[in-house]
Amino acid sequence: MKYIHYLRYIIRHKWYVFIECHRYGLAWLGIIHDWSKLRPSEFFPYAEHFYGKNAKGIKTGRDKTGYYKPMDTGDPKFDNACLLHEKRNKHHWQWWVLPEDEDGVRVLEIPYKYRIEMICDWKGASRAQGHGGMIIEWWAKHNYKMQMHPKTRAMIQSSVIDLEVVMNDILRILELKQVAPITAADVKELAVRLYGICEALGEWE
C-alpha cells in the first residue's frame, strides 16, 4: 500500500509541474520531470521514508511551508536516494554545485530552462502538498540555505517571486473592490510593476 500511496503522489506532483511548465512553454520538461523517481534506487527508499512504518505521509519531516532538509534526515537509505535524485536532475540547484579538490565549492549559473523547471517544481510540490502553489513564504524562509549563482538567485527573486507578490496584490484589490473603488493610481502602480517583471523575464532568458 505504501508504494501505491507514493506512486499516487508522484503522479499528482508531476501533473502540477507539467501545468506550470506548460505555462512557460516548456511542456516537454514537464513531461519528463522527475522520471528518475520511478527508478528502484529512488522509488523504494522514498516510499519507505514517506509512507512506511511510523511515517506521516508526504509531509514527514517537513515544516509548514513544505520544506525538509534532504540528506540529513537520519534515514541513510533515503538520504542516499535524495543525493542520487539531485545529481540526476538538472532542475535541482544542487546539480550545479561542484565540490572543488581543495576546500570550498564552485557554484555554476543554472540555464534558463532549468531555472524555470526548478520554480515549476517548487510550485508543483506546493500544490501537491496542499499549499496552493504559493511559494513566497517558502522562498523567504529558506532561500538563504540554497547555494545559487547570483544571477540565478536574482532572476528567481525579480521575475518570479515579485510576480507572485503582484498577483496577490491584484487579488487583494479585487476582494476590496466592493469596499472601496479601484482607483487609476492602483491600476497604474500594478501595471508598472508587471511591466518591470516582464522586462526582467526577457532579460534573464
Cα angle 119-200-117, degrees, rounded to a multiple of 5: 20
Residue partners of 92: CB distance under 8 A and separation at least 6: 85, 86, 118
Where is pLDDT greater, at 56 or 30? Answer: 30
**57 three-state secondary structure:** coil
Each residue's pLDDT tens digit, 103-119: 788 999 999 899 989 98
Alpha carbon distance 149, 151 (integer Å): 6
Each residue's pLDDT tens digit, 55-94: 766 656 566 655 556 656 778 898 899 999 999 999 999 9
Where is pLDDT greater, at 142 or 165? Answer: 142
Domain ranges of the chain: 2-148
pLDDT computed for residue 149 by the predictor: 92
